[in-house]
Structure formats: structure tokens, C-alpha cells
Amino acid sequence: MNLIIFGGFLGSGKTSLILSLAHHIIDKSVIIDKPKLVIIENEIGETGIDDKILKSGGYSVKELFAGCICCTLSVDLTTTINDIYRNINPEWIIIECTGIAYPGMVMDSLKKYTQGIDMIKVVTVVDAERMEELTDITPVLVEKQVKDGDVVLINKIDLISEEELKKAEEHVAEINSNAKIYKVSANQDIVKGLWNEVTG
């Protein structure tokens, strides 16, 4: 199984990007006799909103509520992944973290306690429109989420100026010089090359 963990602050556009990636995975998969994709969605509240969007796209969604998967729900997550491995063993699992999660902590926990994982990658989604504001309000959370990303998607580029975009890109590169950084808009088509890079 290959795992992709999506992190990023609430409202950054994770669900829309996950739907785009899910379509890409389904379209490019060539393994006929193996389930292709399971999506795990984590909400802090008692009921999910994003999972309704995901399910409307025809995807199987497993929900984890009432806690953050990088802390209080970490046992539930590892149990869920191990159950999925034993009972479904899909080609891909996408995990959508809640907006307050540290995706690197999720990845570390999964590496230690789960079975059947061939590859784990962290994708951090940055809200370009609110990056400066969020950095002022929650600097440690934003910095850690960006630092955890193997890939950082600077989203909502259609809502900001070129100058603001350049500033956001420089800020991301300063925090995480090792990440592959892409500028995207979840409201527009994502080029296949980007998702090939993420799934490669």
C-alpha cells in the first residue's frame, strides 16, 4: 500500500485537491484485481462535512472523529490502517488530516506501528490567501505543517497578486528548502504531471 498524508490548515483546500488526486489515481491505475483507493478523513467535531463531498464523488471514506490523528486518535488510525491492509489491501490510501494536525507526527506513528506500507508521502496544502495571517496567529503550527511536507502545494493562487504569491513561495522555501513546491488553484484543473510527481 502507498500512503499520502494531506496536511494543512482548515480551509486551505485539502478536500478539493484530494478529489483531484483521487480521480488521477483511479484513472491511471492498471492493476485490475486490486482495490485502488481508500480515503481516511479526520474531523475534530462529531460530524464530518468534507467526507460528504468525498462520498459524493463515489469514493469509500473512513471517518475518524472527536480528536486529532496526530495525538488522541493515533491508535485508532494505526488500527484502521492495519484493518484496511488485512481486509482490503488497496493500492493507495489518502489520509486527510484535520487542520490542527502535524502530518509529520502522523507519518512517524504509521511508520512504527502499521503493516503493509510500501511508501508514505506528506503533502502540505498552504492557503496562499491567508498564509501571512495564519503565520501571525499560529506560527508554530503553520511552520511545522510546511516543514513536514515532502510536497507543498501553495493553493488559491488565483485569489492573490503576483507579488503576494512570490512572497508566499519564498516563505515556504525558507521554512522547507527540501520540499517540492507547486503553485495551484483547486478551482482549476491540476496538471497531471503534478499528481504523477506526488504519486511517483
Q: Output the tens digit of pLDDT for each of the chain's 200 residues.
A: 999 999 999 889 998 999 899 888 888 876 666 678 888 887 544 444 445 544 444 445 555 444 434 444 446 788 888 988 998 888 999 999 888 889 999 999 899 999 999 999 999 999 999 999 999 999 999 999 999 999 999 999 999 999 999 999 999 999 999 999 999 998 888 887 899 989 98
Residue 131, pLDDT score? 92
Residue 54, pLDDT score? 47
Residue 124, pLDDT score? 98
Cell digits for 78? 494505526
Residue 72, pLDDT score? 40
Least Cα distance to 25 among 149, 200, 151, 150 occurs for 200
Nearest-Å Rg of the Cα atoms of the chain is: 16
Residues with Cβ within 8 Å of 26's Cβ and at least 6 positions away in sequence, in order, are: 36, 37
488485512: which residue's cell? 86
Least Cα distance to 179 among 129, 126, 138, 134 occurs for 126
Residue 75, pLDDT score? 62
CA 22 to chain centre: 11
Residue 188, pLDDT score? 86
Please, what are the domains in the chain? 2-199 (3.40.50.300)
pTM of the predicted structure, to 2 decimals: 0.85
Residue 145, pLDDT score? 96
